[in-house]
């Protein structure tokens, strides 16, 4: 009796497998996204407590965050026994470093939108949004350079208030940080300054 030849073939490995460097980069990108998610959840919790301290109702906070009222209440009551802290001073002329970084971030976003994402700072802004860029001194210096380049190259397309805001932020970043206690985390200060800077630029434009 003839034995049939086994025509099944062992699958061949891919001709161009991923290199270790490529795999490392893939996992690094995934970790950046995961890390950004954790940071954003923590930031949201801090912002909820901050607005509760400012007198906002839990129903109002729930509506704005898209959370349920019980979930907001849990965040608020979790720190109810903590020492009360004074509400933050929501003014552009604060000169602590995270506040100034937030102002620079907000300015870069406004420039990116004004130039329809053709700005040099657009990639940086997008990387921050995805959690792939963090506010290290080196990254802040990079963002300053990109914003300054956009202001120089697109002088006629951008309102003068953008240049004035950048000059003020840049001068303050080059000065020593003034003494003074702050109760909000660096992430909260950046987020608040970012939004206040964007609102101010739109009012002045």
What are the pLDDT digits (tens) for 165-185? 999 999 999 988 766 656 677
Scanning the structure block, which residue is given the tokens 């923590």?
A: 42
Q: Which phi and psi (to 5°) does residue 198 adopt?
A: -65, -40
Tokens of 58: 């839990």
Contact 84, 189 (CB under 8 A): no
pLDDT bucket at 56, cuts 50 / 70 / 90:
confident
Question: Which of 16-25, 91-100, 132-141 ranks highest by mean pLDDT?
Answer: 132-141
Tokens of 21: 């460097």
pTM comes to: 0.70
Cα separation, 108 vs 134, in Å, equals: 15
The lowest-confidence range among 79-88, 90-99, 172-181 is 79-88
Cα separation, 101 vs 35, in Å, equals: 20
């Amino acid at each position: 009796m003839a034995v049939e030849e086994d025509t099944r073939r062992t699958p061949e490995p891919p001709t161009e497998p991923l290199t270790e460097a490529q795999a490392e980069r893939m996992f690094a990108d995934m970790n950046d996204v995961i890390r950004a998610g954790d940071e954003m959840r923590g930031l949201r919790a801090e912002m909820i407590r901050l607005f509760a301290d400012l007198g906002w109702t839990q129903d109002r906070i729930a509506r704005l965050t898209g959370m349920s009222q019980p979930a907001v209440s849990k965040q608020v009551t979790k720190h109810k026994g903590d020492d009360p802290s004074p509400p933050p001073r929501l003014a552009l002329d604060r000169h602590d470093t995270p506040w100034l970084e937030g102002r620079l971030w907000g300015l870069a976003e406004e420039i990116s939108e004004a130039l329809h994402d053709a700005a040099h700072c657009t990639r940086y802004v997008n990387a921050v949004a995805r959690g792939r860029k963090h506010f290290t001194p080196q990254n802040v210096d990079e963002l300053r350079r990109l914003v300054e380049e956009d202001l120089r190259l697109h002088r006629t397309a951008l309102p003068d208030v953008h240049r004035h805001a950048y000059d003020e932020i840049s001068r303050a970043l080059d000065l020593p940080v003034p003494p003074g206690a702050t109760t909000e985390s660096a992430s909260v200060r950046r987020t608040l300054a970012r939004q206040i800077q964007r609102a101010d630029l739109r009012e002045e434009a």
